[in-house]
Homo-oligomer: A and B are copies of this chain.
Amino acid sequence: MEDARRTADGALTRVEQVMRIVRERIASRALAAGARVPSIRTMSEQSGVSKSTVVEAYERLVAEGALVARRGSGFFVAGGAGGAVGERGLAGAQPQPRLDREIDPLWLTRQSLETDARALRPGCGWLPASWLPQDAVRRALRAMARDPRAQLTDYATPLGHPALRQHLSWRLAQHGIGAEPGQIALTDSGSQALDLLCRFLLEPGDTVLVDDPCYFNFQAMLRVHGAKVVGVPYTPNGPDLAAFERALVEHRPRLYVTNSAIHNPTGATLAPAVAHRLLKLAEEHRLTIIEDDIFADFETDPAPRLAAFDGLARVIAIGSFSKTMTAAARCGYIAARADWIEPIVDLKLAVAFGNGDLTADLVHRLLVDGTYRRYLEGLRTRLADAMGDTLRRLAAAGLTVWTRPQAGMLLWARLPDGLDAAQVAREALADGVVLAPGNVFSATRSAGEYLRFNASQCNRPKVYETLQRAMERAAAPSAWERVD
C-alpha cells in the first residue's frame, strides 16, 4: 500500500524509489540507528522491484553513509557512536529494536498532527477544534488587547504568571491537593512539565514504570531520557498491584509515570483502595510518582488523586489545559514539594529561559471568567452522549469495550479474535482514517488486538464503514503482508 503510493511518483527511478523508502523509514524512526533494514528479498517483494534494483539502492545508501553493510548479516542503519555528526537522533547510541511504523508512537503523533482537518481521526487524542471554546478564546484575546495592564512584551517571572499560579493552587485544592502558589511552576505544556521532571529525576539507564497500556508519548519522552521503560498491566481500577510490587522488587525503578484520574488510553479510573496501596508500595520502595492530570476537567465526579492522598511528598502533579481548553495556547504546570521547585525552575530557566507569559495570561483569563466552567458543563454532556453512541456503534461492529469510561473522550476496545490492530489501522489509513492501534500504547507490545477510540472524533458514519472494511481486509491478508 505504502509502497504503491511511492511508485506513483513517476519522477524517480526504481532505484531512487527504494532509496527514498529507506530514507523515509529512517527519518520517521521506523528504522532506528543500528536497526537491520529489510532483506533484499523482502524489500523486492514489498516494493515490487527486482532484487538487483534493491541491491543497487542499498549499495548507494551505503556509499552515502545512510546504511552500513555487514558481511553475511545484511544491511543496517548507520549512526550511533561511530556515526556522522548530527545523526544521534532519538535512540541515542544504543541500537533500538525495530518498530513497525504503525505502532511507533511518533508516527501516530505525526499522522494525527499532519492529517488535514477534514480527515477522520477516531484514534486521535484530542477534541475536534469545533468542540473547543473558540469564542471564549476570542473574547480573552480581545480582553487582553484592551487591558492597559496586560503584560504583552516582557519575560515571565521564574515560576510564571503569579495570578494563574494562585488560581491553580485553588483548583488543585478542589481535588484535595494542597499546593501553595510557590510550589507551582508554570511550563509551556504538560509535555514540557514531564520533560523537566525527567531531567530533574532521571539519569540515563534508570528504570521507569509506566502503565501497560499508557499514553504513548510517555514512552517516546522516556526514550529521549535514556530510561529503561517497564510496563505494569493496568486494570479497570488502576495498576495491577501484585505486578507493580514485583516490578518494584525486580527493577528498582526510580519513577512511575501515570494518568490516574482518567487514564489514557483506557478511560479507566483509579480506585481509592488501589491508590492507597500503591502509595504504600511507593513509600516502601522510595519511588517517586508523576501524576499527569491533563484530563481533570472532563470529570463530573472527581476520582482520587495520588497527589492528594500523598500530600505531594513523593508524588508530583502535572497538568495542562491543552485537552480541555486550547492546544494552540499551551500552558502547563508542575506542583511539587517546595524544596524541589527551586531546582526545577533553575532547569526551566537554563533550557527555556522561562515560559510564555502571554499564553499563561490567556489561560488565566479563560479560567477565571466563568466562561470555561459553563463550557465544561456543556462539554461533559456532549461527551457523555458521544461516548454512549460510540460504545453502541463499536459493539455493533463487533468490538468489545474493555471498561466503560466514567468520563472523558477515550475508550479502549478489543477487535474480534484474530485481527491485528496494526493491520486494521494500516488498512483504514489507506482510506484516510487515522486509527490508534493498541501497541502504540503498550511498552510490552501486548495490546495488538486493541484500538483506542476518541468518542468526540467518532460521530461520522464513515468512521464505522471504514473500520468495518479495514477489518474485512485485515482478515484477508494482502500481497503486501511482510514475509520476514
Contacts and interface: CB of A to CB of B under 8 A. Distances in A.
A158 interface: yes
Interface string A104-145: 001001100110010000000010010011100111011011
B141 A153 contact: no
Interface in A327-368: 327-330, 337, 339-340, 342-343, 346-347, 349-354, 356-359, 361-362
Interface string A185-204: 00011011001000111111
A158 B90 contact: no
Given A81-B203, A354-B113, A155 B328 contact: yes
A343 B152 contact: no
A145 B220 CA distance: 35
A151 interface: yes
B349 A110 contact: yes
A25 B431 CA distance: 60
B328 A154 contact: yes
A454 to B, nearest CB: 14
Contacts of A155: 113, 126, 322, 327-328
A293 to B, nearest CB: 16
A203 B80 CA distance: 10
B220 A199 contact: no
Interface residues of A, number: 86
Given A27-B339, A342-B27, A356 B188 contact: yes
A358 B134 CA distance: 12
Contacts of A141: 141-142, 144-145, 152
A156 interface: yes
Contact of A89 (B288, B346, B352): B346
Given A113-B157, A141-B141, A353-B217, A288 B28 contact: no
Interface in A63-91: 81, 85-90
Nearest to A152: B137
Nearest to A64: B339
A440 to B, nearest CB: 13
A452 interface: no
A326 B152 contact: yes
A93 to B, nearest CB: 7
Nearest to A191: B353
A305 interface: no
Given A89-B346, A199-B224, A358-B328, A137 B114 contact: no
A101 interface: no
Contacts of A60: none
By CB atoms of chain B within 10 A, which of A221, A254, A353 has the most? A353
A337 B84 CA distance: 14
Nearest to A84: B286
Interface string A263-301: 000000000000000000000001010000000000000
Contacts of A51: none
Nearest to A349: B109
Nearest to A188: B188
Contacts of A144: 141
Contacts of A203: 81, 88, 92-93
A6 interface: no
A352 B356 CA distance: 14
B343 A90 contact: yes
Contacts of A36: none
B350 A114 contact: no
A337 B86 CA distance: 10
B327 A90 contact: no
Contacts of A88: 200-203
30 contacts: A27-B339, A27-B342, A86-B201, A88-B200, A92-B203, A106-B349, A114-B158, A117-B154, A126-B155, A132-B154, A133-B153, A137-B152, A138-B146, A139-B145, A151-B328, A154-B328, A155-B328, A188-B188, A188-B352, A188-B356, A189-B356, A217-B350, A217-B353, A220-B350, A221-B351, A327-B357, A328-B356, A328-B358, A329-B356, A358-B362
Given A106-B346, A188-B188, 12 more contacts: A28-B346, A85-B288, A86-B288, A113-B354, A138-B145, A154-B328, A155-B328, A188-B356, A204-B204, A217-B349, A224-B350, A326-B358
